Amino acid sequence: MTLEELDLKYIWHPCSQMKDYEELPPIIIKKAKGIYLYDKDDKQYIDIVSSWWCNLLGHCNETINNNIKKQLDKLEHVIFANFSHEGAIELTKQLSEIVPKGLCKFNFSDNGSSAVESALKMSFQYHYQTNNPQKTKFMCLDGGYHGETIGALSVGAMDLYAKIYKPILIDSIRIKSPDCYRCEFNKTRQTCDTECFEHVKKEFKKHGKNTAAIIIEPLLQGAAGMKIYPAKYLKKLREICNEYKVLIIADEIATGFGRTGKMFAFEHAQVSPDIMVISKGLTGGYMPMSITITTQEIYDAFYAPYSEGKAFMHSHTYSGNPLGCAAALGVLKVIKDENILKIAQKNAKYLNENINLALKNHKNVGEIRNIGLINAIELVLDKDKKIDFNPKDRVGYQIYKKALKNGLLLRPLGNVLYFNPPLNIKKDEIDKAISLCLKSMEEILDK
Ligand SMILES: *Cc1c(COP(=O)(O)O)cnc(C)c1O
């Protein structure tokens, strides 16, 4: 049997209709370096989506590799209740210096969804233990994505992932989200005054009293199609949340670590969330690790004699895993030593200018939106009327397959193609990715 056949015999791949694999078998990757993946026949692919947005600094980065190798011979894992280790201590110390102001206590999990679960439980329990037991609800934005465990799905508002599970999900309050490309107030990004914030106001008036927390993806709704909304929205959200004593959970799993041009997206709004969740870029895509970070005030509401039963009884076996911490320390070292945020800002400008030059005038490109290095290309059937393609045609998927043939890993969200490359991508690699993207688009759309 070939590797592909063996794969299909045993493996149920994530987020896939396995029947699609009849036509597009799994691509067996043998090795990777920087932005390139190499399959078993040595064909190379540009990984322009950072392998599910986590590969922050390219594949097989020497500094991160060495950090993990060194750690491996010292300590691979230790129970994290009552025990600790240098890596976790050093990592949280360094993170405390770069996270938004006020965030100072670090609770480890091992994937994004689990860290979201931790944040939800923490918010509920915080209110319960500070004489607000009526605050039991969660709010979220339409199109929001926070992971795929039951709790995370309950505050996710993308039918694609959640619809079938509705009967077993927690009922949360969905707020109509900003949609800047198709603004219902007929504003543009330039003329916007966050008119759509009135949807938030309306729901707070109705449900604010009973709401424990609102969870959001700051500035960028990733899975919804890389939808980008203004920082002013977060500022207003901070104000209304203060008024109603609703906690803000910032899901920075996708936006953290320089993806939006600043270390964390919330910095653009110059306010802080009450809880921030990070994963993905945290270990540069090396090890499954996530952290739920909160304030002294929330932490203090759990701090009491054991007999009062106020502890946060939440744990994951791999909490604070030393290899994960070593990877994360490697990421922070590269970011600092190589001045990565500066480089990313330059790259972002170059990528955005050139992607616009190459693609903007194509008849099916409705909008190219960008934040940091993230550039999303929304494909539409009719540009003037912003009419979508028929989802049944799976135009994005056709382009995805074509791009793979051409040596580019694009993996669109519906009909939104996007670039979300490592922050240290090189200019010639950007050029190459853009031209492969255009070629793949033309092969499908202009035939
Ligand atoms: C990826 C992601 C998650 C889920 O993280 P997993 O590690 O896949 O569970 C949650 N929120 C956002 C914004 C994400 O991008």
Residue 224: both structure tokens together: 């919804």
Percent of the chain with pLDDT over 70: 100
Query: How many Å apart are CA 334 and CA 316, to the nearest integer?
Result: 28
Query: How many Å apart are CA 134 and CA 208, to the nearest integer?
Result: 11
pLDDT in tens, 320-334: 999 999 999 999 999
Q: Return the pLDDT at 229.
A: 98
pLDDT in tens, 56-93: 999 999 999 999 999 999 999 999 999 999 999 999 99
Domains and their CATH numbers in the chain = 3-61+339-446 (3.90.1150.10), 65-338 (3.40.640.10)
What's CA 249's distance to the chain center, in Å? Answer: 14
pLDDT in tens, 353-390: 999 999 999 999 999 999 999 999 999 999 999 999 99
Q: 52 labelled as ligand-binding?
A: yes
pTM of the model: 0.97
Q: Tell me, using a 6 A CB cutoff, whether residue 145 lines ligand 1.
A: yes
Q: Return the pLDDT at 158.
A: 76
How many helices (H) and strands (E) in the chain?
A: 14, 16
Residue 400: both structure tokens together: 């995805």
Q: Return the pLDDT at 40.
A: 96
Q: Could you give the C-alpha distances from 335 to 13, 146, 229, 291, 374, in angstroms and in order?
A: 32, 26, 26, 19, 18
pLDDT at 157 over 90: no
Q: Tell me, using a 6 A CB cutoff, whether residue 277 lines ligand 1.
A: no
Q: Return the pLDDT at 36.
A: 98
Query: How many Å apart are CA 352 and CA 337, to the nearest integer?
Result: 25
Q: Return the pLDDT at 262.
A: 98
Mean of pLDDT values over 22-31: 96
Percent of the chain with pLDDT over 90: 98
How many Cβ atoms from other residues are within 10 Å of residue 231's Cβ? Answer: 19
Q: 2 labelled as ligand-binding?
A: no
How many Cβ atoms from other residues are within 10 Å of residue 427's Cβ? Answer: 12
pLDDT in tens, 251-261: 999 999 999 99
pLDDT in tens, 383-440: 999 999 999 999 999 999 999 999 999 999 999 999 999 999 999 999 999 999 999 9
Q: Return the pLDDT at 163.
A: 86
220 pairs with which residues across the strands? 228
Q: What is the CA(185)–ligand 1 centre distance, in A?
A: 30
pLDDT at 162 over 90: no
Q: Tell me, using a 6 A CB cutoff, whether residue 285 lines ligand 1.
A: no
Using a CB cutoff of 8 Å and minimum separation of 24, what contacts does 339-344 make? Answer: 340/57, 340/258, 340/423, 340/424, 341/258, 341/261, 341/262, 341/263, 341/423, 343/423, 343/424, 344/258, 344/261, 344/372, 344/373, 344/423, 344/424
Q: Return the pLDDT at 154.
A: 96
Query: How many Å apart are CA 256 and CA 29, to the nearest integer?
Result: 27
Mean of pLDDT values over 100-107: 98
Mean pLDDT for the chain overall: 97
> Ligand 1: which residue has its CA nearest to atom 7?
112
Q: Tell me, using a 6 A CB cutoff, whether residue 253 lines ligand 1.
A: yes
Q: What is the CA(253)–ligand 1 centre distance, in A?
A: 6
Q: 112 labelled as ligand-binding?
A: yes
Query: SS3 helix, strand, coil % of the chain, rounded to 5?
Result: 40, 15, 40
Residue pointed to by tokens 């609800």: 137
Q: Where are the beta strands (DSSP E) in 268-389?
A: 275-278, 290-295, 365-371, 374-379
Q: Return the pLDDT at 161.
A: 84
